[in-house]
Amino acid sequence: MLSVLTRGVVLASRRPVDGSQKTFEVAEGDSILDIAQANGLDMEGACGGSCACSTCHVIVDPEYYDKIPEPDDDENDMLDLAFGLTETSRLGCQVSMSKDLDGIRVALPAMTRNMQNKDFKS
Amino acid sequence: MFIARRFFSVSRLLSSKVAVIGAGPSGFYTSLNLLRDKDPDLQVDMFEKNPCPFGLVRYGVAPDHPEVKNCQDRFQDTREDARFQYFGNVSIGSDLKLKELYDNYDAVVYAYGSSLENKLGIPGEEDHPAIINSRAFVGWYNGDPEYKDLDPPLDKVKSVVIIGNGNVAIDLARVLLAPINDHWKGTDITDHALAMLNLSTVNKVTIVARRGFLESKFTNKEFKELLELYKEGVHFGGWPEQKFATLNDMTLGRVDKRRLSLVNKYIGIASQQNEDSGSKEWFLDYLKSPIGFKVDPENSELLREIIFRESSITIEKIEGQDHKYKYKSKIEPTNEFSSIECQLVIPSIGYKCKPLAEFKELGIPFDDKRGVIPNVDGQVQGKEDSYCVGWIANGSRGNINSAVMTSALLADIIQEGLKSSNKEGRSVIESLLTERKVQVVNWEDWMKIEQYERTLGEQKGKIMDKVTDYNRMLEICKENLS
């Protein structure tokens, strides 16, 4: 099972809108990106899941982070470009569901206004 | 009958209509996000001056990075939604007036990116045949009709200097040095580029930055890709490490630390390789500002060298938020000069955007110096119902990644301010274009071009073979392909 906290967008002129949590039954081997897109969640996988962008960036619940095999250099290089990077960030296309990860919770990073150009490393 | 018609026109629904100018990632992601709204009467019309959509995804992304182009599939999701329409081969300013968009749509979104390159400002840059701007060079190997006849003299060149430090500079180095045989197989690199690369004698590329190592704008992924070409005989020859010795004592951030470790790792590998007379080398160089060129006395169409003014650097540690340190480089010109022997120079220092012709008249501001539309979070300053996104809003930084995010945020903002009206939108625009005999390229037409490119590509063992002539593109749209 995979729980996803969907994106909460903080609007400057309104109070923050918290995302809702959705839970899905999933199959072993499905990547988090596959699952998100199959269920209509707000996750772009611009490069189609080939580790060539960071649009499927998710924040993994710290309790589950260590259960996922470590990211390789390529994934780390792409993660470095993700906005709102955290200690437990991963690319959704590189994390596949397994029995070890049953019950894993991930959050979609919130996008905020007033992001400045320097926040984007191109 | 008469009465019934009058009732019909009065009871017509108000609806919201958005015009998007530009069919690159910014235009498409903004449109896709606007279309998330379930409003059945929403209309999003996209205008693109080229027949083909996708902007730099088609003409900028390197042929050996096909996975980056996967976003095109997502862009074509708009085909499923009748509330969206693509108008290719329609130039705002000539085929349609910008004012006509304002008259017929409730919001206008500028997403048309850049069409100019930043200049070094050095004599010779504009007209010497061996000083070729990156925009032209990339367009040449990517099938941009504007540059198909560029014909860079790579068969007469051994050493190339690339001025700039972004991912485009890395792409250029890779294109110039990657071994021909396998690297481009199956990709959509243009035939004319492949033919010239086959004759190329280039064996040395130097990527020169004005500033320092910490200011390098290329990303580690692309950098590593170039470094890895050592496996195919393309060696990293080094960088001015003595100028940056202090970096080894600093606690660098993740990205910088990784970049430094990549440099150190691959220099180690290079020194272990045997000297190979046929091998190719590339270098990083820093703290050099070009001031002039010397022409080859025996062939004035080639250069002999590029001359630089050297800069000095001191890297300071600054305390930032939460006791985190940042490093700031202080870079100053010196009275020292240097040169690099080369026959070809490719300035790759970014791009600039142009205003559309009617901006002044319609009160749309433009910052000529930076080449952007002044805006706050994508809302055009001082002009209602006007938005901008992508390079036209932020300058030529940011890639597909950042387009995904900024477009999503902008769509939110547009939705908040979007009015409903009885503006006519698409129906009036279509009439105007028909009256003016403009050959509009719609999605179906684009699919004909795409199908043609794939079929031609298949015959040549390529994923696709781009049509490099605008007229040919338009001809194909008119053909009835079986």
pLDDT by residue (tens digit) across B352-385? 999 999 999 999 999 999 999 999 999 999 999 9
B401 contacts on A by Cβ (under 8 Å): 46, 53-55, 81-82, 120, 122
Of B432, A100, B202, B77, nearest to B86 by C-alpha is B77
Q: Find which of A37, A43, A53, A83 to mutate to test the B interface (most B CBs within 10 Å of its CB).
A: A53
Neighbours of B370 (CB within 10 A): 12
**Residue B430 in contact with partner chain A when CB distance is under 8 A:** no
Mark yes or no for CB contact B401/A53 under 8 Å.
Answer: yes
* Three-state SS annotation for chain A: CEEEECCCCECCCCCCCCCCEEEECCCCCCEHHHHHHHCCCCCCCCCCCCCCCCCCEEEECHHHHCCCCCCCHHHHHHHCCCCCCCCCEEEHHHCECCHHHCCEEEECCCCECCCCHHHCCC
Q: Which residues of chain B register pLDDT less than 70?
A: 1-12, 271-278, 323-324, 481-482
Of B202, B197, B341, B365, nearest to B280 by C-alpha is B202
The nearest CA of chain A is from the CA of B130 a distance in Å of 28
d(CA A14, CA B401) in angstroms, rounded, equals 26
Nearest to B408 among A77, A80, A111 (CB): A111
**Residue B421 in contact with partner chain A when CB distance is under 8 A:** no
A53 contacts on B by Cβ (under 8 Å): 68, 71, 400-401, 404
User: Cα torsion at B195, B201, B207, B208 (round to 10°)?
Assistant: -120
Which amino acid belongs to residue B183? H
d(CA B193, CA B197) in angstroms, rounded, equals 6
CB B339 within 8 A of CB B354: no
According to the model, what pLDDT value does residue B462 have? Answer: 96
Task: Give the single-character DSSP code of B52.
Answer: S
According to the model, what pLDDT value does residue A26 have? Answer: 86
According to the model, what pLDDT value does residue B326 have? Answer: 80
Considering the segment(s) B119-349 as one domain, its CATH architecture is 3-Layer(bba) Sandwich (3.50)
Say which residues have a Cβ less than 8 Å from residue B262's Cβ, sequence separation at least 6: B220, B223, B224, B227
The nearest CA of chain A is from the CA of B403 a distance in Å of 10
The nearest CA of chain B is from the CA of A72 a distance in Å of 12
Q: Which residue of B has its CA nearest to A75?
A: B221
What six digits make up the tokens of A95? 């994390």
A55 contacts on B by Cβ (under 8 Å): 400-401, 404
CB B23 within 8 A of CB B49: no
Q: Which residue of A has its CA nearest to B398?
A: A122
pTM of the model: 0.91
B254 contacts on A by Cβ (under 8 Å): 80
d(CA B152, CA B143) in angstroms, rounded, equals 14
Chain A residues with CB within 8 Å of chain B CB: 9, 11, 44, 46-48, 50, 52-55, 73-74, 76-78, 80-83, 111, 113-115, 117, 120-122
The nearest CA of chain A is from the CA of B65 a distance in Å of 9
B259 contacts on A by Cβ (under 8 Å): none
Domains B2-115+352-441 and B119-349 share a fold: no
CB B135 within 8 A of CB B455: no
pLDDT digits (tens, 9 = 90+) for B234-280: 999 999 999 999 998 888 988 999 999 999 999 978 766 655 556 89
d(CA B367, CA B337) in angstroms, rounded, equals 34
CA B127, B132, B135, B137 torsion-angle sign: positive
Task: Give the single-character DSSP code of B14.
Answer: P
d(CA B213, CA B165) in angstroms, rounded, equals 10
Q: Which residue of B has its CA nearest to A8?
A: B409
Considering the segment(s) B2-115+352-441 as one domain, its CATH architecture is 3-Layer(aba) Sandwich (3.40)
According to the model, what pLDDT value does residue B172 have? Answer: 98
Domain parsing of chain B, residue ranges: 2-115+352-441, 119-349
The answer, yes or no, to whether residue A116 has pLDDT greater than 50, is no
Say which residues have a Cβ less than 8 Å from residue A86's Cβ, sequence separation at least 6: A59
Mark yes or no for CB contact A52/B68 under 8 Å.
Answer: yes
The nearest CA of chain B is from the CA of A56 a distance in Å of 10
According to the model, what pLDDT value does residue B317 have? Answer: 85
d(CA B20, CA B79) in angstroms, rounded, equals 16
CB B43 within 8 A of CB B18: yes
Nearest to A77 among B224, B377, B395 (CB): B224
Q: Which residue of B has its CA nearest to A82?
A: B401
Of B229, B127, B124, nearest to B174 by C-alpha is B229
Mark yes or no for CB contact A81/B377 under 8 Å.
Answer: no
B343-366 burial, b at 16+ Cβ within 10 Å, e below that, comes to bbbbbbbbbbbebbebbeebebbb
- Of residues A98 and B306, which shows the higher confidence score? B306
Query: SS3 of B463, please?
Result: coil
